[in-house]
Amino acid sequence: MQSVTDVSRLDLAAVFDAVPTSYAVLDTDLRFVVVNQAFLESSGRSRGDLIGRRVFDVFPDNPDDPEAHATANLEASLRRVLRTGRPDTMPLQKYDVAGPDGVFRPFWWSPVNAPVLDEDGRVVLLLHRAEDVTAYVTERQAQRFDAGVGLYDVPEDRHRAEADLYVRGQELRAALTAEAVLAQRLAGVVQVALQLSAAQTVAELTDIVVGRGLGVLGAGGGAVAVRTEAGDALELTLTASLGERARGAFGRVPLDSPLPVAVAAATGEVVVLPDRAAALAFTPHMEAAVTSTGLGTWVSLPLQAAGRSLGALTIGWRDPQDFTDRDLELMSAFAAQCAQSLAAVQAHEQERRVAGEQRRLSETLQRSLLTAPFEPDHLQIAVRYLPAAADAKIGGDWYDCFLAPSGTTTLVVGDVAGHDRDAAAAMAQLRNLLRGVSMTLGEPPAAVLAGLDRAAHHLGVGVIATAVVAQVEQTPAERAAGLRTLRWSNAGHPPPVLIGADGTARLLHTPPDLLLGLLPDAARTDHTVTLEPGATVVLYTDGLVERRGAPLPDGLEWLRTTLEQLHHLSAEELCDALLARLDGAAEDDIALLVLRAHPEDGPRPAEAGPQVLPPTSPGAAPPLTRP
């Protein structure tokens, strides 16, 4: 039998070809010299396609991917190996490879480049290892999709860190096949790392780490320490195994404390205390930690991401430990994943806080403008404003009602494009400008909207908006007959709804006029409809009828049929009942204005409110009459 120590008689080429991981040997001009079978299978190439050719001639960047930089990254790594004579482990690379049909398909690789030296220590060849981890990355994308987390909701550096951790975990698994306990821990750490990547809050992340992660490492307990916003202290979440006494004593630790967890966070260095004697010798403060927890062996690892200290991970065992380099590498990899996940969660929480503050500012501004309506005699007006559920969806919707100098009741509902505080500010400008134009011109709605468009253009109020302006008019003949006229003009807005006294609802569809803010001299048209006693007019913004994935006509028909079902309610009750029937939370802001035309041959109805606004205010013109 051939001795395994007789290396000279081994078929090294056959051994190289049998290795299941992809390997290639390159010369100093970066040309292929030798490749193994695994490399051919993963790349979809034959040896004839590769040998003697430069690696980047065979595997160029995907021309359809503007973010593709894999060739530059790989060349930089290979040049570093040639220059330094030392191995270079690259971060995870997205390096698409064209198939036999010439179509590029996405691949993810974990490359390592190592030098082959001659007797004088000069680099004569390069050994390139390319571990294909495409299946892992694809699986992670699918898991995120199932969890409702979009691929682009995850920062790229966190995405790479996860896959790098997976690859390193696979390498460690292979190295520790003879050490079953550590291999099992490694598998557990990889699974915990996947859970960490889905954490949405700091509390959820720390629960995963202390609830499962430390147990997977075989520890008796530990804690996640997160730096406070002030940065001068650490807030610790401890495992239940450490007991209430430890939680009370070490729930908050100053950053300048001599405890290992604070030292690791402050210095970025790993602190290893392999037994009780080492722990007590590190600082007298450890006596309280050892006594209260019963753990004598500790490792504290810094949590760092993007060059920033986030805190530390501290792990404890009851018995002395003989830590190997592999043990520490595994704990460092786990701490790195914790740090990446913690950084992403903190960034997301900060975004939510900022969005919440912007939302509150926008809503405060908006509500300060959307005042209670006045109460004209026998015309009841009810209004509602419902902000969207999403933080960013706020800012541009408004309603308004006022008495024009002509004595007519003027109603307005509009929507400025955009959903942020800028849209809220633009809405305020446009709303007030519309009031001023209406008061100055004393003209019908079409002329008011045309004047508003011109004024906004010349004053530099650069916004795009939709709006409906309506006026309630009454000639002497109409007054004698108990009738009124609704005159309105529509600038690209959803149509008003008219509910007759008999409860029949119809959409006041008209040929659409242009949105505001596009052409300052656009033609505008007035439309009229007779209001009988008991009729109701509903003005609204598109958030009431638009639904994701559903056509607008479906939303308009839902509104019409729902209003028919609710026609018997008072104006105030109708507003509340209509909003209550929305299917789920509002996806966009909603401004709602309901006008009820009560009969004039009796006293003012009680549901119309306790106050009465005279038809004309002192000094105002008489009510508008038209032949």
Give the DSSP per-residue string, 483-498.
Answer: -EEEEEEEESPPPPEE
Helix (H, G, I), strand (E, B) or coil at 22: strand
Has this prediction a pTM greater than 0.85?
no
Q: pLDDT digits over 373-417, tens only? A: 777 778 999 999 887 755 444 568 889 999 887 778 999 999 988
User: What whole-number distance in Å separates Cα of residue 302 and Cα of residue 270?
Assistant: 6
pLDDT score of 526: 97
User: What whole-number distance in Å separates Cα of residue 545 and Cα of residue 529?
Assistant: 23
Taking alpha carbons only, the member of 453, 450, 479, 449 closest to residue 464 is 453
Does residue 355 register a pLDDT over 90? no
Q: pLDDT digits over 282-324, tens only? A: 999 999 999 999 899 999 999 998 788 899 988 889 899 988 8
The topology (CATH level 3) of 194-349 is: Beta-Lactamase (3.30.450)
Residues in the chain, total: 627
Give me the phi and psi of 410, to 5 degrees please. -110, 130
Locate the domains of the chain by residue range.
9-146, 194-349, 372-608
Mean pLDDT of 464-473: 95
In the block, residue with structure tokens 């002395």: 320
| Domains 9-146 and 194-349 in one fold | yes
| Residue-averaged pLDDT of the chain | 81
Does residue 5 register a pLDDT over 50? no
CATH H-level superfamily of 372-608:
PPM-type phosphatase domain (3.60.40.10)
Q: Which CATH number fits domain 9-146: 3.40.640.10, 3.30.450.20, 1.10.3300.10, 3.30.390.10?
A: 3.30.450.20
Higher pLDDT, 47 or 604: 47
Buried b (16+ CB within 10 A) or exposed e, 412-439: bbbbbebbbbebbbbbbebbebbbebbe
CA distances from 329 to 172, 193, 498 (A): 9, 15, 72
